[in-house]
Amino acid sequence: MSETSRDEAAVGTVPAPAPPPQARKNVSRIAAASLIGTTIEYYDFAVYGTAAALVLGPAFFPSGNPTMSTLAAFLTFAAAFLARPVGVVLFGTIGDRLGRKRALVLSLILMGVATVGVGLLPTYGTVGILAPVLLVALRLLQGVSMGGEWGGAVLLAAEHAPPGRRAVYASVPQMGPLLGFLLSSAVILPTMGVFGREAFADWAWRVPFLLSTLLIAVGFWVRTRVEESPVFDKPVTARPSAPRFPLGALVREYPGRLLLGVGAAVGGSAVYYLVIVYSLSYGPKALGIPQSTMLAAASLAAAAAAAATIPVARLADRVGRRPVILAGAAGSVLWVLPMFGSLSTGDGLLIGGAFTVGLLLLILMFGPMAAFLPELFPARLRYTGASATFILANTLGGGFAPLVATWLNSHWRSPLVLGAYAGTLCLISLACVLALPETRDKEFGL
């Protein structure tokens, strides 16, 4: 049986049962809980990305060559992405076999422990080589946590969504990465302002990590009080029969959709991490742009993209996922070159405007993606399928983006190479989405 026929048999022909009245009343609360969780998780991740760009290189990887120190810090950033597939296997199995809520709570706890641990680490000057070893270990734990976060948050919202509004509800957690970055900037900038750049590089960089303790406590309280997905809120005999090893079944039954789903999201991942993470280091160090200017430009773009997420998802519910995603991918292919080229001007307003257009095009790709990827797979493999496609795309397109960009700019000293790199990946995404079917009318059957 082909993948399309199998998917239609598993998903398209089984009417989704209407959610019970109590579930309908709690949909908004569940969507809010998904947003809170992804915001907290991505705050932790964004704090690390910003710290890697600013101070972690010399603190944990001292070197006479600043480029090598920064490269080493970004290697630890990439290490967390390498651990994400482990999270997909672990939390995908938990989420598909035992329930979405349980996987989400566990992933949040793991992220909290790892992030606070980074804030408490001694530096290389105190304990020598043990410092970067411990840093990498905690980064791996963060990566495992992120491997389970996105799929669970999206599914918890999407599987409770009213008919015809799945893209809207699924897109709510998609604001988490943007809001997490904005929250991290709202903490990092005042911390630098209060203590000064020198003190921030010396010790005050720990403050944003330690403050996540409060956020984790709030997220844990919210997530333990939300209802389980309707797929699991029923007798065991009526639940989807998930295989013992969901990832193996996914690779065996849906290899084409898995690969195309990864390709569909890889371009947007590169754009996001080049703008939100890499540019914060590249602008000041390579082009002499003030750090505050780069943070302000990226924050303006992130705020605009977050505000556009729900309207874009509404459009995807009306006209379909593919037209909206294709428009974003095509626009990104054309825009990333002038967007990164704007860095050569050093003009904060011009850079902020270019970044804003770039992230608005990104939201055209990523807003509907939260519904599009889960809709490619049946309920028994949905957590693993959605997580695997998105997380692998994030790893390939986003996790290595700062590392690849650092290497590219060590050979070709022009921001245009960033646009060429991101544009190539967005072109791949365009081709992959063209090869995938429209999923708007598919039911979330068992």
CB atoms within 10 A of CB 163: 10
pLDDT at 8: 43
- Whether 6 maps to a domain, the answer reads no
- Whether 4 maps to a domain, the answer reads no
Residue type, 186: A
Tokens 């669970």 locate to 152
- Whether 346 maps to a domain, the answer reads yes
- Whether 246 maps to a domain, the answer reads no
DSSP string, 302-333: HHHHHHHHHHHHHHHHHH-HHHHHHHHHHHHH
Residue 356 C-beta-side C-alpha neighbours within 13 Å = 14
Encode burial over 306-331: b for 16+ CB neighbours within 10 A, e otherwise: bebbbebbebbbeebbbbbbbbbbbb
- Whether 247 maps to a domain, the answer reads no
For the cut 60, the answer to whether the pLDDT of residue 81 exceeds it is yes
pLDDT at 94: 87
Q: Name the nearest CA neighbour of 368 among 431, 322, 420, 332.
A: 322
pLDDT one-digit tens code per residue, 420-432: 999 999 999 999 9
- Whether 177 maps to a domain, the answer reads yes
Q: What average pLDDT is seen over the chain?
A: 84
Name the least confident of 16-20, 130-134, 283-287, 388-392. 16-20
pLDDT one-digit tens code per residue, 271-303: 998 998 788 888 888 889 998 899 899 999 999
Tell me how far CA of residue 96 lies from CA of 232, 236, 308, in angstroms. Answer: 9, 13, 31
- The parent domain of residue 121 ranges over 24-231+255-435
Answer for the pair 213, 122: CB distance below 8 angstroms, yes or no.
no
Q: What is the mean predicted confidence (pLDDT) over 196-214? A: 86
For the cut 70, the answer to whether the pLDDT of residue 65 exceeds it is no
∠ CA(249), CA(251), CA(254), 5° rounding? 90
User: Number of structural domains, the chain?
Assistant: 1
Q: What is the pTM of this model?
A: 0.81
Q: Name the CA dihedral angle for 342, 343, 345, 350, rounded to a multiple of 10 degrees.
A: 50
Domain holding 307: CATH number?
Answer: 1.20.1250.20
- Whether 446 maps to a domain, the answer reads no
Q: What is the mean predicted confidence (pLDDT) over 412-427? A: 91
CA 433 to chain CA centroid, Å, is 19
CB atoms within 10 A of CB 194: 11
For the cut 60, the answer to whether the pLDDT of residue 240 exceeds it is no
pLDDT one-digit tens code per residue, 297-334: 999 999 999 999 999 999 999 999 999 999 999 999 99
- Whether 264 maps to a domain, the answer reads yes
The first and second tokens of residue 426, run together, are 């967005």
Answer for the pair 104, 153: CB distance below 8 angstroms, yes or no.
yes
